[in-house]
Amino acid sequence: VKQITLAARPKGMPDMSIFRFDDVALPEVKTGELQLKGRYYSVDPYMRGRMNDVKSYSPPFKLEHALEGGAVAEVVESKDPAFAPGDLVLGPYLPWATEMVVPAATVKKIDTNLAPASYFLGVLGMTGLTAYIGLLDIGKPKAGETLVVSGAAGAVGLVVGQLGKHLGLRVVGIAGSEDKIKMLKEEYGFDEALNYKTGDLSAQIAKACPDGVDIYFDNVGGDVTDAVVPHLNFFARIPLCGQIAIYNNEEPSVGPRIQPTLLTRSVLMQGFIIRNYPTRYAEGIQYLAPLVKAGKIKFTETFVEGFEKIPEAFLALFTGQNTGKMIVKV
C-alpha cells in the first residue's frame, strides 16, 4: 500500500518537499484489529503545528513515519465482532495510507442515515463541534448581540456564523476573497461579510458593527485580529480557536499589544482545543444534526480527488483555496 511519510520538518510555509510517497507492506490483522481502506481524508490547519518538533496538545508527527489525521475508512477485514466488512468508520488519527491495520478501539462506526459520510469530518465532526463548543461555551451568545467570525468561509467559520444566526445574533464574517464574501451573504445568511485582503479592515468593521462587537470568534489571529480588537464592547468574549495567519511564521509575530483593551473593557479571551471536550461530542452532534437536516445549517465541502493529492490539499488551506471543509476523496 502507499503511505505519505513526513520526510523533513518544514521551515515557514511548507511545500511538497517535506512529503514522500512510500510503498509499505500491511501487517497481518490480529484479534481486536481491523484492516481499513481510506475513503475520505481530512486535511486540517492544526497539522501544521504537529509538523514542528515542539511540545503542544498533541505530540509532533514523527520524521520518517506516516502522517496521520481524521479519516473515514471502510472495513476490509475485521477481527473484532463489533465490525463487519463494508462498515464505514471514523478515526481521528488514521495514517495517511491507502490501507491500514488499526486496533478496533481507535475508530467508531458512523451512521450514514444521519448525514453523508464526509460530514463526520466536518459539520458533524471535529470542525462542527469546535464551532459549537467555542461559540456556546465561551462565546455565551445572547440574542441581539454582534458576532464577528474570522476564517468565516472555512469549515469552522461557516458553522459558527450560521449558529450565530440561529441564536439571533447579528453576524459579520471575515474572509479572503470576493467570491467568499458574496457567498456568506447570499447563501449563508451572514448580515455582513468583509474581505480582509482589500481596503481598511478596521474601517469596514466599524461600519458593519455599529453597536460594536460582543463576540469575536477568532480562527486566524494576526492582522485580522488586530483590526477587530479596538471594536470590542465591554464584557466581550473571544473564543480563541485558531491562528492560521501565524502558523507558518519563523519569527514570533509582533503586533499591537491588545492587553490594555482586554483589561479596560473586561474582555474574556479563552483558548480551547476540541480534543479536550470528548464528553461533549455526542451532545454537540445531537444539537447540530437536526439543524443540518432542516437546512438551518448549510454546509459545503471542497473535494480534492485522489490519495496522492493529500499533500496539495493540505498546503492549499494556507492560500484559502477551500470553501467549507477541505476533504480528499478516494
Which residues lie near ligand NDP (CB under 6 A)? Answer: 44-46, 126-127, 130, 151, 153-157, 175-177, 180, 219-220, 222, 224, 241-245, 272-274, 317-318, 320, 322, 326
Shortest Å, Cβ 71 to ligand NDP: 15
Nearer to ligand NDP, 104 or 285 (CB): 285
Q: Which is nearer to ligand NDP, 224 or 288 (CB)?
A: 224
Query: Smallest distance, Å, CB 237 to ligand NDP?
Result: 15
Residue 194 pairs in a beta bridge with: 174
- C-beta closer to ligand NDP: residue 57 or 234: 57
Least Å distance, CB 254 to ligand NDP, is 15
Name the minimum Å distance from CB 315 to ligand NDP. Answer: 11
Chain position carrying cell 482589500:
198
Distance CA 275, CA 49 (A): 15
**301-305 and 268-271 as β-strands: parallel, antiparallel, unpaired?**
unpaired
- Plot region of 212 (φ>0 → left; ψ -120 to 50 → alpha; else → beta): left
Residue nearer to ligand NDP on the CB measure, 75 or 193: 193
Q: Which residues pair with 207 in a beta bridge?
A: none
Number of residues that make up the chain: 330
Considering the complex, state which of residue 183 and residue 330 has its C-beta at the smaller distance from ligand NDP.
183
Beta strand pairing call for 170-175 and 33-42: unpaired
Q: Residue 210 CB: number of other CB atoms within 10 A?
A: 8
Interatomic CA distance for residues 268 and 20, integer angstroms: 43
Which residue in the shown chain puts its C-beta closest to ligand NDP? 154
Element (H, E) at 77: strand 68-78
Strand, coil or helix: 170: strand
Pick the closer one to ligand NDP by CB: 34 or 238.
238
Contacts of 264 (CB under 8 A, 6+ apart): none
Q: How far is the CB of 316 from ligand NDP (least distance, A)?
A: 8
Q: Compute the least distance from the CB of residue 24 to ligand NDP, in Å.
A: 28
Smallest distance, ligand NDP to C-beta of residue 137, A: 12
Q: Supply the minimum distance, in Å, between the C-beta of residue 283 and ligand NDP.
A: 16
162: left (phi over 0), alpha (psi -120 to 50) or beta: alpha
SS3 assignment, position 151? coil
Phi-psi region of 144 (alpha: psi -120 to 50; beta: other; left: phi over 0): left
Q: Which of 83, 70, 92 is nearest to 35 (CA)?
A: 83
153 versus 267: smaller Cβ distance to ligand NDP: 153
Q: Least distance from C-beta 131 to ligand NDP, angstroms?
A: 8
C-beta of residue 194 within 8 angstroms of C-beta of residue 208: yes
21 or 272, CB closer to ligand NDP? 272
Report whether 126 contacts 92 (CB < 8 A): yes
Whichever of 15 and 64 has its CB closer to ligand NDP, that residue is 15
